[in-house]
Structure 1
């Protein structure tokens, strides 16, 4: 027997370190080889040993691989306690992770709690109990432990053995406690025969300031989440977290026997590194914790000033208060009562401004005094001032409102919801409250909304707001109009209807603009507008018995338009009716309309020398010399007439004129002699020159 090496390869990681090959598997058709090496699954072509593709997905050493008999899928198993199913196209389609808890919790009558691995190795240190434990059970997928015994109560502990608090107290020793599967129910059995079932309700402990949200995790940790960047940082307290408060760069955490004050390392708005600044080693009882720059506040239903030791009662309600929030300027108070009604008060007058039903939480916008939102019955409600509520579907509790972002808590998850502010902006626009609408738009609206705001403000003659809005959409055309109106105002113009007419004209509302021009006695503006637009029929309505110059101007522009659209005959007729003879003659002459040209020449006064001269020019050009001669005779331009006869070789007519007007003989005899010479009549030419 002999063996021939077909191909060989060495598996290395990125650092060129050799990797152990723990398992191999052929594809059923033999075309591919699957290799478990290091933390990767390698796929080779069996014919020549080419590496087809290294597959990533495991976080620890891959120990085994296996191919399905049908050749459609293969699997890989790793020390990261996961199995990945791959397709024959080398795509991962399923990842299964083994989450079995291999921790053994032991409570003994030495009054201690210990934790071990199944191998017998202890994890961490012993926890002192101060009572004889009689029962212990893991709770909520191993996150917590419930334990009871000689202290006549069942208590909740973390998975690390930190006591969080009592679940229920009894009159005798607790000998048994069990957790209902997949639920928050705990049943207790006691020495005196008592059986009690408890439901554990975990309240949400959290705090929010603008885009930073802090909440309790695993009962003993605090997680700070940046709602914009989605970064998170976990602070381990190793004690029950009772209250959380956050403000600017400060974070306050209340534990059973102390309060910890943390601060950010830097002023960077995205910094997520906190360090302990102060410790207040004292036990406090409060319904809410608030942290300021230099103080902490233990809240009751009172308004408290940090520089005033006396609390001030703001107002008293008949019903109990579930949730409250103050507006940005501290002038308004929103309260949600036990009947799920949101009530909004003016703090100075104590007046109830309005109320809305179906609310479970409320928050004012930190950037806009008159905007609040409240949630309830599966809806998010946004209210601006006294306008009707705008609704959209949303599950959870509103806990913050900053600009166009609403922070919503659903179960244990906090999310930032981007809410367009279009609806409240249009509510303000309907009431012509342009400045307020602009403030809302600044929170976040579309370009089309900005344009609508700009147009409405322009028509409402709030030029300052319109200017700001047009700057947002970079509309230079309207900005030029506003600048023009502002300049006219500086010069003393005060007629708002005239300004509005200009606005309508820019917007294409020409008839509305014309009516306002007429109302303000500026008919000429309407005339010019319609004329520039080539809307001559409408322009005629503004002629009336006005200045004849306007009529001439209108007809002339109409003729210009006819000329531009290649209707020369109509243009010529209009020029003639407007008295623009030269323009008419140019069109008639260029098109060779001799009959129109002679009619015009005969109608012109002999004093109108320029148009008559132009008529004669075109007659000569068109070789209608008789009409040209008639025109020169009408003008009394004998010199041009003589030149015409000479140019056309009408010598008899030329000699006749010279006899009557000998001063033109040089214009006749010399050209005549040249003509004779050119026609081989040299003797006659010589006599003519002599």
Structure 2
């Protein structure tokens, strides 16, 4: 997770609270005795709103976007329209501490030091209910049926929409642990309503609507002043006396800091349906951040492992679509997968998993080793007996016990690394550098082998199945294919962001870029189809594509490259492509063209695929007759016009003399035996 500052502003007064307009276009700030309205796109101050006579402590927007409310130390609540006009004002006996709109009925709850007020547009008066302690925060459930109140004496009071208390939660520490911020999880997928409670006992806790605590308290080591959920409830923001905003999972696992400030953080909110976060501080600073969640994943053949909810790892079998979840309960920093090994890097350790059996479809993993050390690395790969750590220009090879066995220092920054197989303990690595150098390293050898060096930086690499060709995507989005042995550039194609060779066919590769998937066979022209995402694997007729955070296996018919070979009478190569996956019509076309070209072996294989016994018997009888008494005389069949036929058959053998009878199959064309001369006796 990375936080990028989008814009920042500073006002003279402390920013105590803020609220987004539901469509996310505007931001309302409580600063001093005014409300400040900002354009969220660029941080432009649209308009200051005056109406309060003292410090504004709180602000809230109705979910329908028609109104928002503000509460102040002047003991008043003002209702404003979305056009920034004040339309209603009412008062309490004490300063207003918090306000919150019911997400369903748009009823407004306003809380002071001594009571709670409930107002709705349908009623003329405000119904008020006494409180035994100062109310510091409040939050409605998703269905609008219950309102939770956080109090200074360490009590959480859950009330119905009429203000009647239904549940009372007493936090350990009592008045020494005042409740300073609470929030219900907005997720509709949770089976129960879950309330997050942050108190000045420096604890984060979670409760059900019934008052039952979920799990144990989470220590914060700072006084929390604000808590806010993401729109879908998957993450929590917390800010306070530590002068920063921290990101937590919905279960309370800390993931990292969003942005460090120079003073206490009094408020932080998430822009609706986005990854943008705004922070308001004691010194009047307003900071608007974009959170970027990077994809942490690993792929080996048909197994794909990826991070989910920041603390879990899901291993997906791309063919069977089976999935298994591994709960780490800590931030997952890196993932690597290779054969039956899975490595997961956590903040303070690396866990090595292995499959429970040798079954290729087995999805059960168990812990094999644990390296209880903190590592800093940019890339992580795992082999049968080692893990490889990449940090800038350095590669380190560690055993599963954590002992460093080897280290390689590169000339330039390492941009790409991939395990290309080999015996256990002697695997080979393909390494691409920023200076354009491409190397092969064996984990049991201290010396790196330079395969080639190009002028541009390496972005992506892959080696063909027989290790004779190398495909490189450079920083200019160019896909370049080299002969590894001669270093010759065989061809290059533009608009590429990733590339993968077919693991079952030496001369086929695919690359993605510009919203297209490109399939190239040998040196033939590229075949394109629309596809968003990055190609990460190519196995047979399946192409594995990563789009945003989702990996999918795309079934791609191989008809186009097959016909490219067929047009050049390269029947055996066309057959190899057809075996990857083509339609029955394509198989028949291949069979007929091979038969017409007198490539009987390929024709037989193709007709066998079609289970066409008539043509198989025809070919068999021709071959038998040829062996007995015929010499083939090859004519230039390419110059002879072919007969009209479904499937494209031109000429060959007498149907009657083949022993098949005089009536052809309705789906077959008439054939005649020519091009053969009886050997003179």
Q: TM over 0.5: same fold?
A: yes
State the SS of the aligned residue for 2:376. coil
Cα distance change of structure 1 residues 152 and 406 upon mapping to structure 2, 3 Å threshold: same
TM-score, normalised relative to structure 1? 0.56
CA distance in 1, matches of 2:445, 2:291: 40
Matched, 1:135 2:226: yes
Matched, 1:146 2:273: no
Matched, 1:195 2:260: no
Contact kept? 2:587, 2:609, Cα under 8 Å:
yes
State the SS of the aligned residue for 2:535. strand
CA distance in 1, matches of 2:616, 2:531: 40
CA distance in 2, matches of 1:149, 1:313: 53
CA distance in 2, matches of 1:284, 1:277: 19
Cα distance change of structure 1 residues 251 and 528 upon mapping to structure 2, 3 Å threshold: closer
1:71-97 deviation line (CA, Å, top 9, x unaligned): xxxxxxxxxx9xxxxxxxxxxxxxx97
Matched, 1:169 2:260: yes
State the SS of the aligned residue for 1:200. strand
TM-score, normalised relative to structure 2? 0.57
Cα distance change of structure 1 residues 307 and 436 upon mapping to structure 2, 3 Å threshold: farther
Match 2:309 to one of 205, 213, 218: 218
CA distance in 2, matches of 1:352, 1:292: 31
CA distance in 1, matches of 2:211, 2:657: 100
Unaligned runs of 5+ in 2: 1-142, 144-186, 391-413, 417-430, 432-439, 664-671, 673-681
- Between the two structures, name the one with larger relative contact order (CA 8 Å, sep ≥ 6): 2
2:542: which partner in 1? 405
Matched, 1:113 2:204: yes
Contact kept? 2:626, 2:632, Cα under 8 Å:
no
Cα distance change of structure 1 residues 498 and 363 upon mapping to structure 2, 3 Å threshold: closer
Contact kept? 1:513, 1:526, Cα under 8 Å:
no
Shift of 1:512: 8.3
Shift of 1:497: 2.1
CA distance in 2, matches of 1:100, 1:182: 21
Shift of 1:461: 3.2
Contact kept? 1:136, 1:148, Cα under 8 Å:
yes
Matched, 1:425 2:562: yes
Contact kept? 2:243, 2:262, Cα under 8 Å:
yes
CA distance in 2, matches of 1:486, 1:232: 51
Contact kept? 1:485, 1:499, Cα under 8 Å:
no
CA distance in 2, matches of 1:527, 1:368: 40
CA distance in 2, matches of 1:351, 1:287: 31
Contact kept? 1:342, 1:355, Cα under 8 Å:
yes
1:243: which partner in 2? 334
Contact kept? 1:361, 1:375, Cα under 8 Å:
yes
Shift of 1:154: 2.0
The structure with the greater share of residues assigned to helix is: 1
Name segments (4+ residues, structure 1) moved above 4 Å: 96-101, 484-494, 498-501, 503-509, 511-514, 525-529
CA distance in 2, matches of 1:326, 1:405: 18
Contact kept? 2:655, 2:662, Cα under 8 Å:
no
Contact kept? 1:263, 1:275, Cα under 8 Å:
yes
Contact kept? 2:656, 2:662, Cα under 8 Å:
no
Higher Cα radius of gyration: 1
1:470: which partner in 2? 607
State the SS of the aligned residue for 2:252. coil
Match 2:591 to one of 454, 471, 483: 454
Shift of 1:489: 6.0
Once the two structures are overlaid, the 10-residue window that deviates more, 383-392 or 360-369, is 360-369
How many residue pairs get matched? 430
Cα distance change of structure 1 residues 191 and 257 upon mapping to structure 2, 3 Å threshold: same
CA distance in 2, matches of 1:110, 1:263: 42
Shift of 1:266: 2.4
Matched, 1:360 2:451: no
State the SS of the aligned residue for 1:455. helix
**Mapping of residues 185-584 of structure 1, within 5 Å:** 185-299=276-390, 300=414, 301=416, 302=431, 303-487=440-624, 494-497=631-634
CA distance in 2, matches of 1:215, 1:526: 59
CA distance in 2, matches of 1:105, 1:528: 87
2:37: which partner in 1? none
CA distance in 2, matches of 1:274, 1:526: 60
Unaligned runs of 5+ in 1: 1-80, 82-95, 518-524, 540-690
1:221-252 deviation line (CA, Å, top 9, x unaligned): 11122223322211101111122222332222
| Alignment RMSD (CA, Å) | 3.8
Matched, 1:178 2:315: no
Once the two structures are overlaid, the 10-residue window that deviates more, 199-208 or 331-340, is 331-340
The structure with the greater share of residues assigned to strand is: 2
CA distance in 1, matches of 2:645, 2:312: 64
Contact kept? 1:441, 1:450, Cα under 8 Å:
yes
Shift of 1:419: 0.9
